[in-house]
Amino acid sequence: MDWEILLQQLLNGLVLGSVYSLVALGYTMVYGVLGLINFAHGEVVMIGALTAFSVGRLLQALLPGLPGPVVLLLATLAAIPVCMALGFVIERVAYRPLRYAPRLAPLITAIGVSILLQHIAMLVWGRNYHSFPQYLSNEPFNVLGASLTLVQVVIVVVAVAMMGGLMLLVHRTRLGRAMRATAENQSIAGLMGVDINAIISVTFIIGSALGAVAGVMVAANYGVTHYYMGFLLGLKAFTAAVLGGIGNLGGAVLGGLLLGMIESLGAGYIGDLTGGVFGSNYQDVFAFFVLIIVLVMRPSGLMGERVAERA
Amino acid sequence: MADWLTGMKRDPRARWLGVALVALALGVLPFVVGAAGGRGWVRIVDFALLYVMLALGLNIVVGFAGLLDLGYIAFYAVGAYLYALLASPHFGVHLPFWVLLPLGASVAGVFGVLLGAPTLKLRGDYLAIVTLGFGEIIRIFLNNLNAPVNITNGPQGVNMIDPIAFGGFSLGHTHRIMGIEVPSVHLYYYLFLALALSVILISLRLENSRIGRAWVAIREDEIAAKSMGINTRNIKLLAFAMGATFGGVAGGLFAGFQGFVSPESFILMESIVVLCMVVLGGMGHIPGVILGAVLLAAMPELFRHTIVPLQRELFGRIVVDPEVVRMLLFGLALVLVMLFRPAGIWPSTTRKRELAS
């Protein structure tokens, strides 16, 4: 086995995994508080990426002299509030009225919202792939024989910073305590004076902000954005959340990183392992098999608590 | 009005007259539609019947048992590809319809069990995600299994599929029956109608059977159902397999009718479309689901004849693709129906009572 290739795949996996972790946090936070899978989260990520793309292009047209990193920063800062607002509206319109309805109802509205967002994005941005400009230098540099770009380093650093910030928020602040209390038991938290509705809204807003950043990262890493990018990304991030133990923040991060590694190593080596029968075009399948295996072997995930049917 | 209806239901003669009238109407439908709008419209009616079968299959899973399946079209794909591969020059195999119909049904059913077994023990949300993934995986495999051994012919799909035939009687071309010229689409209409009617009959009989009641019990309260002695896992698996079987049958018919299959026909949106038919029509209510299927199957054509000319009139060109309008409306409808009319446009009386009280 070639060390440099292995290291390269691991680094790619780390970059991919950081993005999955950020998106997975959005799923797991909502799940922790509401016990509901927010199907539309992948679409929020997609809207974030496309908003950043448009804002970036606008900025470059208006202020051609602006350096790339500044444009990227401003575009990301513009995408975050858009996604926050979107997350807030989604919860308000599609989930809140159905909070005490049968389980199937919010799942179906979530699908509806997802389809709606996808096709609105298709109307606004068209069916084509948009190439996301290289705002950061994509000159590769050498790390122990593997190559890495500045974009990838920034992705990992920002992801780690955001996850750290979230952990601090959830475990060290008053708001975080209210969130944990709501996740533990909604009605008791309400009795203790926690404004449940506000906390649930805040959870959606924070998750969507993380999603917006993740969307920009994906776009910057692959250099393309597309109205359909949220679907597969969302599916994989959800897998990451399940792998780590849904509802558990640390689990989402771990699951995301692991899934990134599995995908990257799998895509890199499946050709050799199967003697060329399967190629890297099956990369998207791994996440799904991981999901099935986790659900069969350990449905509570690596770090999760028991997932029982709530009566 | 209600009195008049119940009065008619009680009178057996009126009832038989009603059945005879409906049978006559269904019998002459392709000729009427064909005369009024051409064969293209008969084709649409054929597809509507296929969608009726699909929607009723999904209705067993979503409507009766309350399990959200988002990859239902994968079973349709399994049925279609099985037919395509075993009745086309692709492998040089040409099995008869009588073999392929039960084979497609059972293979799709096995896939249903394989997919359901690991997930049905868990909560419904997981099932939704896993089925969503499964639908996508099947498509990825169909797209990529052309190398190193060419099984599915990849994105190009399989073509020149044999038309459905009974012995020497092929549905693929026009026949002259008792002096009347019956084109191919009309023949397919009668086959699809017969199968759709049997699917409806099976659904109706299942609904009030021991199994059907068990499904509804699980949907309403799984723990209570379990404590009443229902083997919830097996009964859920049965719902899943049964729904998949219907999907497989419809898939085989699709392949024979179309003469061509490709992974493009089995994208996620197709699953969503079938789900919309079930949800909008009225989950768990068979007449509602049939209505939903017929309405939504006719919608793209309707749009082509209204939205496209309307846009040409207003803007001088097509601004919004009718397909996008359709999907936007579907998404909106899913949300609005769940919020304001959770039992669908034609709900069953029991559900209406439950929701009213």
Q: Which residue among A115, A117, A276 sits closest to B330, beta carbon to beta carbon?
A: A115
Question: What's the complex ipTM?
Answer: 0.85
pLDDT surpasses 50 at B357: no
pLDDT surpasses 80 at A276: no
Q: How much is the pLDDT for A310?
A: 39
Q: How much is the pLDDT for B351?
A: 61
Inspect the interface and report whether the beta carbons of B335 and A105 lie closer than 8 Å: no
CA distance linking residue B81 with residue B255, whole number of Å:
7
For residue B283, give the nearest of B63, B72, B64, B68 by alpha carbon.
B63
Shortest Cα–Cα distance, A211 to chain B (Å):
19
Highest mean pLDDT, choosing among A67-81, A144-158, A221-235, B172-186: A67-81
Q: How much is the pLDDT for A169?
A: 93
What percent of chain A stands above pLDDT 70? 95
Instruction: Report yes or no on B2 lying in a domain.
Output: no
pLDDT surpasses 80 at A304: no
Q: How much is the pLDDT for A104?
A: 80
Shortest Cα–Cα distance, B102 to chain A (Å):
29
**Range with lowest mean pLDDT among A264-273, B53-62, B271-280:** A264-273
Q: Is B340 on the interface with A (CB under 8 A)?
A: no
Q: How much is the pLDDT for A74?
A: 93
Q: How much is the pLDDT for B233?
A: 87
| pLDDT tens string B210-248 | 999 999 999 888 889 999 999 988 999 999 999 999 999
Inspect the interface and report whether the beta carbons of A108 and B68 lie closer than 8 Å: yes
Structural domains of chain B, count: 1
Contacts of B298 (CB under 8 A, 6+ apart): B44, B48
Shortest Cα–Cα distance, B328 to chain A (Å):
5
pLDDT surpasses 90 at B18: no
Q: How far is CA B120 from CA A239, B125, B133, B168, B248, in A?
A: 17, 10, 15, 44, 20
Shortest Cα–Cα distance, B125 to chain A (Å):
7
CA distance linking residue A161 with residue A201, whole number of Å:
23
What are the start-end ranges of the H helices in B221-321?
222-227, 232-258, 268-282, 286-315
Q: How much is the pLDDT for B50?
A: 93
Q: Is A89 on the interface with B (CB under 8 A)?
A: no
CA distance linking residue B121 with residue B127, whole number of Å:
9
Inspect the interface and report whether the beta carbons of B68 and A296 lie closer than 8 Å: no
CA distance linking residue A56 with residue A53, whole number of Å:
5
Specify the amino acid at residue A62: L
Under the banding of pLDDT at 50, 70 and 90, the label for residue A137 is confident
What percent of chain A stands above pLDDT 90? 49
Inspect the interface and report whether the beta carbons of A109 and B335 lie closer than 8 Å: yes
pLDDT average, residue stretch B313-325: 78
Burial class (CB in 10 A: 0-12, 13-18, 19+), A193: exposed
pLDDT surpasses 90 at B342: no
CA distance linking residue B196 with residue A222, whole number of Å:
47
Instruction: Report yes or no on B285 lying in a domain.
Output: no
CB pairs under 8 A between A and B: 125
pLDDT surpasses 50 at B118: yes
Nearest CA in chain B to A115: B331
Q: How much is the pLDDT for B214?
A: 94
Q: Which residues in chain A are contacts of B126 at CB distance < 8 A?
A: 242, 295, 299
Inspect the interface and report whether the beta carbons of B122 and A299 lie closer than 8 Å: yes
For residue A71, give the nearest of A51, A85, A82, A57 by alpha carbon.
A57
Instruction: Report yes or no on B224 lying in a domain.
Output: yes
pLDDT surpasses 80 at A77: yes
Q: Is B80 on the interface with A (CB under 8 A)?
A: no
What percent of chain B stands above pLDDT 70? 94
What are the start-end ranges of the H helices in A63-103?
68-90
Q: Which residue has the higher pLDDT, A252 or B165?
A: A252
- HSE-CB for B198 with a 13 A CA cutoff: 8
For residue A47, give the nearest of A11, A18, A87, A10 by alpha carbon.
A87
Determine contact, residues A10/A265, Cβ cutoff 8 Å. Answer: yes
Selected for mutation to probe chain B from A27, A114, A119 (highest B CB count within 10 Å) is A119
Q: For residue B220, give its domain range.
A: 39-280
| pLDDT tens string A167-225 | 999 999 999 999 999 988 889 999 999 999 999 999 999 999 999 999 999 999 888 89
Contacts of B145 (CB under 8 A, 6+ apart): B151, B152, B154
Nearest CA in chain B to A285: B137
Shortest Cα–Cα distance, A159 to chain B (Å):
25
Selected for mutation to probe chain B from A115, A232, A288, A300 (highest B CB count within 10 Å) is A115
Shortest Cα–Cα distance, B109 to chain A (Å):
19
Question: Cα A134 vs. chain centroid, distance in angstroms?
Answer: 21
Residue A92: CB atoms within 10 A of its CB come to 14
Inspect the interface and report whether the beta carbons of A291 and B133 lie closer than 8 Å: yes
| pLDDT tens string B45-83 | 999 999 999 999 999 999 999 888 888 999 999 999 999
CA distance linking residue A278 with residue A274, whole number of Å:
6
Mean pLDDT of chain A: 87
Mean pLDDT of chain B: 84
Nearest CA in chain B to A236: B133
Q: How much is the pLDDT for A273?
A: 73
Instruction: Report yes or no on B21 lying in a domain.
Output: no
Q: How much is the pLDDT for B6?
A: 58
Q: How much is the pLDDT for B350?
A: 65
CA distance linking residue B37 with residue B31, whole number of Å:
10
Residue ranges of A 277-296 with Cβ closer than 8 A to chain B: 277, 279, 281-282, 284-285, 287-288, 291-292, 295-296
Inspect the interface and report whether the beta carbons of B70 and A111 lie closer than 8 Å: yes
Q: How much is the pLDDT for A160?
A: 93
Determine contact, residues A76/A151, Cβ cutoff 8 Å. Answer: no
Determine contact, residues A157/A213, Cβ cutoff 8 Å. Answer: no
Q: How much is the pLDDT for A311?
A: 32
Q: How much is the pLDDT for A192?
A: 92
pLDDT surpasses 80 at B149: no
Q: How much is the pLDDT for A87?
A: 95
Highest mean pLDDT, choosing among A261-275, A290-304, B270-284: B270-284
Helices (H) and strands (E) in chain B, counts: 14, 8
Residue A95: CB atoms within 10 A of its CB come to 22
